[in-house]
Chains A and B, each alone.
Chain A
Amino acid sequence: MEDFEPRIVGFLCNWCSYAGADLAGTSRIQYPPNIRVIRVMCSGSVDSVYVNRALLEGADAVLIGGCHMGDCHYINGNYKARRRMVLVKNILKTLGLGEERIWVRWISASEGQRFADTVKEIVDETKKLGPNPMAKRWNV
């Protein structure tokens, strides 16, 4: 399992977390290249279907990144995202389908370091979990 490199799908909001990831890059902060970022307009626009699809398609971890509470560009999108992701995780937990692979982080546009640290943390934790068993199943 030593050479297992997790693949992470990240849904990052346009206004904060994506800009935070950008800042990490322009600031030349090193972070693991394991994350594939999908820019969305708001964390509140990430329906559960996208998160679950990433997981069922075999992503080893999924990150939903949004603005800090109170900072949402659309006023309350991240509050709604928070509830929705609680539900996503709750259902995955009941079914034992790997809710611990779903990550939610509020990262502002000025927190390049926090973004880099988050990715590093997810990679470390996911390495402990091992590959997503969904990835090689053919009958789901």
Chain B
Amino acid sequence: MKAYILPVKDKDPSAAVNEMLKGLLSSGEVSSVLALQETPSGKSAFPTMISDPEKLSSNVFAPILPVSTGTMVSKMTRVRASPEPVAVVLRACEMRALTELIKLNQADLANIITIGVDCHGTVPINTYSNYPGEKKPTDAVLGGEEKHLRTACLSCKDPVPSNTDLIIGTFGAEMKKELYIISNTEAGEKIMSGLDLKEAKDLKNREKAIEDIRNKKDKYRSKHIEEHSDIKGIDKVAEFFDTCVNCHNCMKACPICYCKECLFESSVFDLEGSKYVNKAKHRGAFKTPPDSLLFHITRFNHMILSCVECGLCEQACPSNIPLMDIIIPVAENAQDEFKYLPGRDPEEEMPMVVYREDEYEEVGE
């Protein structure tokens, strides 16, 4: 690991990163960059694939997560890896999702340079479009404003990216003057050697800042779990999902739900009329569309061990169901059971694809 200092001009850290990315494109170090770029209206920002340096006006700090860049890298590389080097800028949760997708054979890092960005949290898309107050959302959130952040971000497991080639570091840096650039791999170091940046003296400030922010998120997380520990039992759980309209947007937005056709969008549960009538007779009544709770519980079973808690499911819900209230405790308990942390280590095997002979010996006896 080596750390460098990226000088910031005009108190604009986004512009400094943009210049750095431009340099990578101009020098031919990478042939494209995939980075968050604001739409012309400024109402949102999307991961944008850019090869023309003239068209590069990224804002990697825009506090918005319209889609997981992990999903985009999967789309880009799943059929065949990119033939030319592409630099991908992503947040910690997006990199965690990408790591999980690679384990699921849904993405490939060949020719991909991953550049992580320290994350100060993101706000819902609509909040971003009409951000309250005088400040622009990026300035407000980088300046420490937290009141509009999404639950997923407030209770983030780790806002510092892991397993990326480079990290654009804001934590502990005086952002109006300089940013840290940290290289973690050979590929990252190769990029840095072409940039001619000064090495950072030490990272003590950064380490301290990271510790503080992790503690703060942990605290929020514990409090959040505690406050919602009453969602237990069929009455409460059914009430929680009462406004679910079975649109499956949570599944579509989820970076981990990668199946091309979800079981619940197939005809598996299409039954003949007699089954409907029988079920109605047996229960007296039942709500349609049927199986919405089954959908959520099954979705948990299929993806929760890889859940990176990006909160895209919650953001996608048209009924504003606060999904993270239930996802966080379910994920925490399930991942604890198998001592698995999604996105932690690309070499760590997924719990549902391996087994040990000498485990859970009490089960089934």
User: Which A residues form the contact surface with B (CB < 8 A)?
Assistant: 48-49, 52-53, 56, 58, 66, 69-70, 76, 78-80, 82-88, 90-98, 104-106, 133-140
Judge whether B1 is part of the interface by a CB distance below 8 angstroms: no
Asked if A138 meets B364 with Cβ closer than 8 Å, knowing A82-B355, A91-B300, the reply is no
| Bound CA span A94–B163, Å | 31
Judge whether B201 is part of the interface by a CB distance below 8 angstroms: no
| Bound CA span A94–B329, Å | 7
| Residue-wise interface mask of B (287-321) relative to A, using a CB-CB cutoff of 8 A (1 in contact, 0 not) | 10001111001101110110000000000000000
| Bound CA span A39–B337, Å | 29
Residues of B near A84 (CB, < 8 A) are 352
Which listed residue (A49, A80, A104, A137) contacts B301, Cβ 8 A? A49
User: Which B residues form the contact surface with A (CB < 8 A)?
Assistant: 231-234, 236-238, 242, 263, 282-287, 291-294, 297-298, 300-302, 304-305, 326, 329-330, 333-334, 337-338, 351-352, 355-357, 359-360, 363-365
6 smallest A-B Cβ distances: which pairs?
A: A96-B232, A48-B301, A79-B355, A138-B285, A106-B364, A96-B233
Asked if A95 meets B286 with Cβ closer than 8 Å, knowing A56-B293, A83-B355, A137-B238, the reply is no
Q: Are A82 and B237 in contact (CB under 8 A)?
A: no
Residues of B near A137 (CB, < 8 A) are 234, 238, 283
| Bound CA span A42–B282, Å | 30
- How near does chain A come to B29, taking the closest CB pair, in angstroms? 44
**DSSP class of A's interface residues: helix, strand, loop or mixed?**
helix
Residues of B near A135 (CB, < 8 A) are 283
Asked if A52 meets B298 with Cβ closer than 8 Å, knowing A76-B355, A104-B363, A136-B283, the reply is yes
Residues of B near A83 (CB, < 8 A) are 338, 351-352, 355, 360
Residues of B near A92 (CB, < 8 A) are 297
- How near does chain A come to B231, taking the closest CB pair, in angstroms? 7
Asked if A138 meets B284 with Cβ closer than 8 Å, knowing A94-B330, A95-B231, the reply is yes
